[in-house]
């Protein structure tokens, strides 16, 4: 670190610094740097501590009860005598709401990121970004309050019609698009233009009728649906997707931005439309960064406590049938928050330690996904800078 | 594929992207609008004379003489209503006991409903809970209670095979021919004169403490607790975070150790918030015993750990954004590295660092899960600054949960819950907004 | 770091000398505790904080010395007492009030009444449709409490017994208030709450033909009732003693009955 040394005083003979003084300076510098290092490693120490303290309280559970029950049984009777601690249903519930939120947030998030980075003019983008940041900043308890007080009763009283409208609005345009593209693709083989056009029109009419039939049948099914309980996996998935969106959008957008202009320009030069350029060239190039964005977004849903605690219904069973999002579920985070009450740690019961086991499970999952997403980002950076 | 279809696909792709952003904006709007609308209702509402009485008696605010005059004004009508009640009670005495018993059964709820609406009759000081000492303080609640007084809600259980439908019966009909019957019409007609609803601006909602478990009063203890926790977390995390950022940007050499430290940072950023709560409980309270039980200190320390990675990241970015020439000029002039950092780099990076700090402050204020086991209580008065080391505190985030899902009268105090949510959301969003503005100013400056 | 350590040390010192009363525990006793707290603070100027984290948590806090009074809606368990003794704490029970556990349904539910066996059957998953217990054809949405709840423990002792557990399909709510608001917004729901939480938004179903009321609980004809306790560590002194005397004062009895509980 010769850069820090005051060169002037070293070189000029007029200010000869005594050997002792120089040593002291050096020692002070070393000491200073070690303090800096110590503070910088504080985070690492904290991470180790978190792992250690959560693990120390989690291990007794596994010692007492082994691994099999926790992961394979869904009998969750912590208050029973003797208690049963099958967390399978709870792990399943966690996975269910996380998957649900990802299904909603990932396509929307990627589309929004693409739109922000490539479609919107800069002036609009300036206003769109703060909106996203605001969505990210809203405290989770406010979302939970919304889910519990507004969304849950709404789902109960008019969930069916609501779902129907959402279905019409979302599926309608997609099906129409599919009609156009489908008929176009099917008639692509026909050489003669007039005949092709006639066939295409016929197919379009046919498909449109079919699409409307599908829309109508599914829509009326949804319309007639009675949602018994508004605090369910669907409710939570919707709200969690709102919360995961900002993370996905901002990370995915960064990675789209880092794909250079050259790629895009090359694609345009070959005559591709913007959509084709984005789908065939830009998105694949940014895919690893987008994957990292997805992982981070999923992590956000997985680790969220308040929304799921307030609005998931907290019933520890695997829904019947297994994909029924209209049933109440229970998640790891909500179980920790809700069950800590009976955590009689003084008796060292499995009941207290099982919550730490859940915490450890969450911690390990988040640690691994973090490592993966980090690796992905680093690799992408290397690839892109290598090009 | 023909060109037309490709164009349509291109357009719909654009529409999909814009649609997603619109959906996000809508999501924000849908969540925020009811919160703002109903939350403002906690401060701006039609307050009745009961509200002014409460303020005068409990907080010693308002114009006493004016209140006296108003009380006299409503007394004219209230007395008539209470007299009808008294007359009816006399009438009951003289009635055939069998019939009187039947009337009494129905009379009880009427009396309760009237007292819920107007408060206890003059001279009756027996109620101890504040909630029973006043009538309805808010006009829209008063209208609900008026409806409950006038109509009896009944359910048609005649067919046990279907869910019953609710229907309303005018209570006046059950008392047809008695001296009570005219009371219903009288109260219905003169409700406004009995309660004198008037547009009210209740800033005290933000600065008063709560009365009778948040049924009346404000949310100051919660606001204060939120500030204590967030600022406390900042006090620990900000210096640590900035120093760590300096190390990472200026001193750290590329290597396994540094990359491990960085990896630790992003790991910490990804830890679920409830796990911080577990850690805070196991480490700060059970192991270190920073306090006997939940305390602001334990909560602030837990929150500090949670926001540390955000601060480090923001500070790193801010330091890296300082043009290299600044540093080189300073070093070239012969100042030491540490000196350069303190006098040149940090001042230049300060706005960026503060931006990150402000955002983290918002995050610390809004989090609930880490403070459940470490700092939050459901009811308590505002604590003094001297008590932060040992006392737990109510805090907005926790009390929103508590009031919305644990309070015995959760449905009656929705306005308080909305008010709290709005207060919390505004604190957090204002902090974020100032961070955004700050950042905009910096980028303008950097562009020149 | 040094400052941090110093702060931590100070923290322990200050809290050891802490004043005021700290109450933790049952959400059922919560309204009583909160109202007593407000009354007590106003009357004697002693600050009282109330956490409602469940009976189990209250016991835990008392054993750890984290609170002065544990509000509990059930008796302290033998393990808890043993754990307390190990830490040199002698828990003393003070009865705060009597409370009935009301079985509640949505007001639109026409079911006339339920027997204890039927209720147990519903919670254990033997009956899944209201039709099977004399109601309309609708799936039963079963609401229970979190495991830290004393009401839940009392309910299990009084109704379902320990042998067959409550089915996991049942939704868990964190508090009496939450159960009430879930039941009042869900036509086919059933739940159980403390008597003090009853209002017109839900309907209390007669159990074995007896409606929960002050009279039927005092006389013991309504079977689902229990005592609510304030536990202290050793015999209380000073302001805590003053606080614990509240349930037997005239004002205290009045508060209890205003809240819908039954004073002893």
- Domains defined along chain B, listed by start: 47-198 (no CATH), 220-447 (1.10.3720.10)
Minimum distance, in Å, between the CA of residue C3 and any CA atom of chain A: 14
Q: Of A144, B394, A205, B30, nearest to C47 (Cα)?
A: B394
Separation of CA B97 from chain center: 52
Question: Hey, are the CB atoms on A328 and C80 less than 8 Å from each other?
Answer: no
Question: Hey, are the CB atoms on C187 and B408 less than 8 Å from each other?
Answer: no
Q: Mean pLDDT: which of A266-270, B379-383, B418-422, B444-448 is highest? A: B418-422
pTM: 0.89
Classify residue B443 as exposed, middle or buried by CB count within 10 Å of its CB (0-12, 13-18, 19+).
exposed
Sign for the pseudo-dihedral over CA of B224, B227, B229, B232: negative
| Residue B164 binned pLDDT confidence (cut-offs 50, 70, 90) | confident
Considering only CB atoms, which chain A residues are within 8 Å of C29?
none
The tokens for A18 are 């005594």
Question: Which of A32, A135, A303 is the closest to B273 by Cβ?
Answer: A303
Q: In this structure, how many other beta carbons lie within 10 angstroms of the beta carbon of residue C82?
A: 11
User: Could you tell me if C158 and C101 are in contact, meaning their C-beta atoms sit under 8 angstroms apart?
Assistant: yes
Q: Is the pLDDT reported for residue C154 higher than 50?
A: yes
> Any idea how long chain B is?
448
Q: What is the mean pLDDT of residues B208-224?
A: 89
Separation of CA C208 from chain center: 23
Considering only CB atoms, which chain A residues are within 8 Å of C188?
228
Q: Is the pLDDT reported for residue B198 higher than 90?
A: yes
pLDDT tens-digit map of A172-223: 888 888 888 888 888 877 778 888 888 888 888 999 999 999 999 999 999 8
Question: Which of A5, A131, A345 is the closest to B24 by Cβ?
Answer: A131
Chain C neighbors (3+ CB pairs < 8 Å): A, B
In sequence order, what DSSP letters do the residues of A123-180 get, joined into one string? HHHHHHHHHHHHHHHS-HHHHHHIIIIIIHHHHHHHHHHHHHHHHHHHHHHHHHHHHH
For the domain covering C99-219, report its CATH number: 3.40.190.10
Chain A neighbors (3+ CB pairs < 8 Å): B, C
pLDDT of residue A17: 59
Q: What is the mean pLDDT of residues B176-194?
A: 91
Bridge partners of C228, per DSSP, are: C97
The fold of the C2-98+228-258 domain, in CATH, is D-Maltodextrin-Binding Protein; domain 2 (3.40.190)
Q: Which chain B residue's Cα is nearest to C60?
A: B293
The percent of residues in chain A predicted with pLDDT above 90, rounded, is 35
> Average pLDDT, whole number, for chain B?
89
Q: What is the mean pLDDT of residues B8-17?
A: 86
Contacts of A44 (CB under 8 A, 6+ apart): B260, B261, B264
pLDDT of residue A14: 46
Minimum distance, in Å, between the CA of residue A342 and any CA atom of chain C: 4
Match domain A72-139+229-385 to its CATH number in 1.20.58.110, 1.10.443.10, 3.30.70.120, 1.10.3720.10.
Answer: 1.10.3720.10
Q: Which chain A residue's Cα is nearest to B246?
A: A36
pLDDT of residue B37: 95
The percent of residues in chain B predicted with pLDDT above 90, rounded, is 46
Q: In this structure, how many other beta carbons lie within 10 angstroms of the beta carbon of residue B3?
A: 8
pLDDT of residue A344: 52
pLDDT tens-digit map of A297-348: 999 999 999 999 999 988 888 888 888 999 899 999 999 988 776 555 545 6
User: Could you tell me if C32 and C61 are in contact, meaning their C-beta atoms sit under 8 angstroms apart?
Assistant: no
Question: Which of B153, B390, B406 is the closest to C175 by Cβ?
Answer: B406
pLDDT tens-digit map of A235-258: 999 999 999 999 999 889 888 888
Q: What is the mean pLDDT of residues A341-358?
A: 72
pLDDT tens-digit map of B76-86: 999 999 999 98
Q: Is the pLDDT reported for residue C202 higher than 70?
A: yes
pLDDT tens-digit map of C228-243: 999 998 898 889 999 9
In angstroms, the first-to-last Cα distance of chain A is: 33
Question: Hey, are the CB atoms on B1 and A185 less than 8 Å from each other?
Answer: yes
Question: Where in chain C are all domains bearing CATH 3.40.190.10?
Answer: 2-98+228-258, 99-219
Minimum distance, in Å, between the CA of residue A151 and any CA atom of chain C: 12
Higher pLDDT among residues B6 and B148, named by residue = B148
pLDDT of residue B275: 94
Considering only CB atoms, which chain B residues are within 8 Å of A50?
268, 271, 275-276, 279, 305
Question: Which of A74, A338, A342 is the closest to C172 by Cβ?
Answer: A338
Question: Which of B128, B160, B294 is the closest to C258 by Cβ?
Answer: B128
Q: What is the mean pLDDT of residues B10-15?
A: 86
Question: Hey, are the CB atoms on B389 and C50 less than 8 Å from each other?
Answer: no
In sequence order, what DSSP letters do the residues of A270-282 get, joined into one string? TT--HHHIIIIII
Higher pLDDT among residues C102 and B94, named by residue = C102
pLDDT tens-digit map of A113-158: 998 888 888 888 878 877 788 888 899 999 999 999 999 989 988 8
> In this predicted complex, what is the ipTM?
0.92
Bridge partners of B211, per DSSP, are: B216
Whether residue A344 lies within 8 A of chain C, CB to CB, comes out as yes
Chain pair A-B, CB pairs under 8 angstroms: 285
């Amino acid at each position: 670190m010769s850069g820090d040394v005051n060169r002037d005083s070293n070189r000029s003979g007029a200010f000869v610094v005594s050997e002792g003084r120089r040593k002291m300076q050096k020692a002070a510098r070393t000491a200073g740097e070690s303090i800096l290092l110590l503070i910088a490693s504080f985070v690492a120490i904290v991470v180790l501590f978190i792992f250690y303290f959560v693990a120390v309280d989690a291990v007794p559970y596994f010692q007492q009860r082994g691994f099999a029950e926790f992961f394979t049984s869904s009998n969750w009777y912590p208050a029973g005598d003797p208690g049963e601690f099958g967390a399978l249903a709870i792990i399943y519930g966690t996975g269910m709401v996380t998957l649900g939120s990802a299904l909603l947030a990932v396509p929307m998030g990627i589309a929004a990121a693409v739109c922000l980075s490539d479609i919107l003019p800069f002036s609009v983008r300036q206003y769109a970004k703060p909106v996203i940041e605001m969505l990210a900043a809203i405290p989770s308890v406010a979302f939970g309050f919304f889910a519990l007080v507004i969304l849950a009763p709404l789902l109960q009283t008019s969930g069916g019609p609501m779902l129907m409208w959402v279905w019409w609005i979302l599926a309608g345009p997609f099906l129409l698009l599919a009609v156009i593209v489908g008929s176009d693709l099917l008639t692509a083989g026909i050489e003669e233009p007039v005949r092709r056009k006639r066939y295409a029109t016929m197919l379009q009419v046919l498909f449109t009728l079919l699409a409307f039939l599908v829309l109508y049948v599914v829509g009326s099914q949804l319309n007639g649906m009675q949602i018994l309980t508004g605090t369910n996996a669907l409710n939570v998935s919707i709200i969690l997707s709102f919360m995961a969106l900002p993370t996905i959008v901002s990370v995915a957008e960064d990675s789209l931005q880092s794909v250079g202009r050259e790629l895009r320009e090359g694609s345009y030069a070959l005559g591709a439309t913007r959509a084709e350029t984005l789908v065939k060239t830009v998105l694949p190039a940014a895919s690893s960064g987008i994957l990292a964005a997805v992982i981070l977004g999923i992590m956000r849903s997985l680790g969220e406590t308040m929304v799921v605690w307030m609005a998931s219904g907290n019933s520890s069973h695997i829904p019947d049938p297994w994909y029924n999002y209209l049933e109440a579920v229970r998640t790891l985070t909500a179980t920790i928050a809700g069950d800590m009450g009976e955590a009689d740690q003084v008796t060292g019961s499995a009941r207290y330690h099982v919550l730490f086991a859940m915490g450890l499970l969450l911690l390990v999952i988040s640690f691994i996904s973090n490592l993966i997403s980090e690796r992905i980002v680093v690799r992408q950076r290397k690839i892109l800078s290598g090009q | 594929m023909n060109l037309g279809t490709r164009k349509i696909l291109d357009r719909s792709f654009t529409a999909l992207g814009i649609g997603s952003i619109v959906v996000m904006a809508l999501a924000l709007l849908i969540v925020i609008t009811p919160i703002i609308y109903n939350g403002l209702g906690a401060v701006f509402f039609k307050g009745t004379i009961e509200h002014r009485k409460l303020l005068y008696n409990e907080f010693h605010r308002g114009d006493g003489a004016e209140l006296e005059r108003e009380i006299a004004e409503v007394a004219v009508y209230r007395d008539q209503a209470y007299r009808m009640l008294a007359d009816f009670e006399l009438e009951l005495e003289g009635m055939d006991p069998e019939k009187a018993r039947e009337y009494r059964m129905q009379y009880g709820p009427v009396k309760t409903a009237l007292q819920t609406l107007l408060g206890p009759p003059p001279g009756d000081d027996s109620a101890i809970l504040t909630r029973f000492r006043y009538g309805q303080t808010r006009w829209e609640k008063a209208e609900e209670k008026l409806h409950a007084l006038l109509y009896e809600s009944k359910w048609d259980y005649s067919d046990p095979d279907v869910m019953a439908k609710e229907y309303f019966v005018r209570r006046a009909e059950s008392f047809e021919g008695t001296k009570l019957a005219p009371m219903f019409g009288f109260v219905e007609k003169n409700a406004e004169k009995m309660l004198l609803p008037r547009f009210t601006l209740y800033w005290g909602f933000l600065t008063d403490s709560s009365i009778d478990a948040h049924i009346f009063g404000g949310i100051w203890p919660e606001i204060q607790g939120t500030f204590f926790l967030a600022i406390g977390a900042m006090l620990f995390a900000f210096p640590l975070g900035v120093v760590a950022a300096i190390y990472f940007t200026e001193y750290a050499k590329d290597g396994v150790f540094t990359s491990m430290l960085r990896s630790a940072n992003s790991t910490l950023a990804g830890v679920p918030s409830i796990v911080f709560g577990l850690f805070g409980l196991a480490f700060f309270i059970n192991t270190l015993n920073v306090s006997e039980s939940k305390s602001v200190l334990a909560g602030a320390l837990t929150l500090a750990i949670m926001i540390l990675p955000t601060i480090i990241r923001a500070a790193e970015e801010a330091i890296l954004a300082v043009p290299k020439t600044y540093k080189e000029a300073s070093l070239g002039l012969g100042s030491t590295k540490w000196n350069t950092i303190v006098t040149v780099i940090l001042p230049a990076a300060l706005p960026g660092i503060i931006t990150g700090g402000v955002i983290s402050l918002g995050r610390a204020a809004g989090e609930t899960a880490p403070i459940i086991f470490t700092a939050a209580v459901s009811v308590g008065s505002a604590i003094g600054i001297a008590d932060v080391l040992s006392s737990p505190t109510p805090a907005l985030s926790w009390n929103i949960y508590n009031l919305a899902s644990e309070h015995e009268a959760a449905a009656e105090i929705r306005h308080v819950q909305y008010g709290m949510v709005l207060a919390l959301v505004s604190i957090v969003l204002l902090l974020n907004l100032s961070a955004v503005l700050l950042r905009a100013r910096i980028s303008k400056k950097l562009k020149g | 770091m040094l400052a941090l350590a110093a702060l931590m040390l100070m923290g322990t010192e200050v809290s050891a000398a802490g004043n005021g009363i700290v109450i933790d525990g049952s959400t059922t006793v919560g309204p009583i505790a909160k109202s007593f707290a407000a009354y007590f603070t106003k009357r004697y100027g002693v600050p009282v904080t109330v956490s409602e984290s469940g009976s189990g948590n209250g016991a835990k806090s008392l054993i750890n010395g984290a609170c002065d009074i544990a509000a509990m809606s059930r008796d302290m368990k033998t393990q808890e007492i043993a754990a307390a003794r190990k830490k040199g704490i002698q828990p003393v029970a003070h009865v705060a009030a009597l409370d009935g556990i009301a079985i509640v349904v949505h007001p639109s539910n026409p079911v006339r009444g339920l027997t204890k066996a039927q209720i147990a059957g519903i919670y254990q998953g033997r009956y899944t449709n209201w039709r099977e217990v004399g109601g309309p054809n609708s799936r039963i949405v079963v609401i229970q409490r979190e495991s830290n709840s004393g009401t839940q423990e009392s309910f299990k002792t009084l109704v379902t017994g320990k042998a067959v557990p409550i089915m996991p399909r049942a939704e868990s709510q964190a508090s009496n208030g939450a159960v009430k608001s879930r039941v009042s917004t869900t036509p086919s729901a059933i739940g159980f709450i403390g008597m003090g939480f009853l209002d017109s938004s839900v309907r209390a179903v007669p159990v074995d033909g007896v409606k929960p009321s002050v009279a039927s609980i005092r006389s013991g004809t309504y079977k689902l009732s229990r005592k609510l306790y304030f536990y202290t560590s050793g015999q209380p002194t000073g302001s805590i003693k003053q606080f614990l005397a509240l349930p037997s004062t005239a004002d205290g009895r009045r508060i209890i009955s205003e809240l819908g509980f039954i004073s002893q």
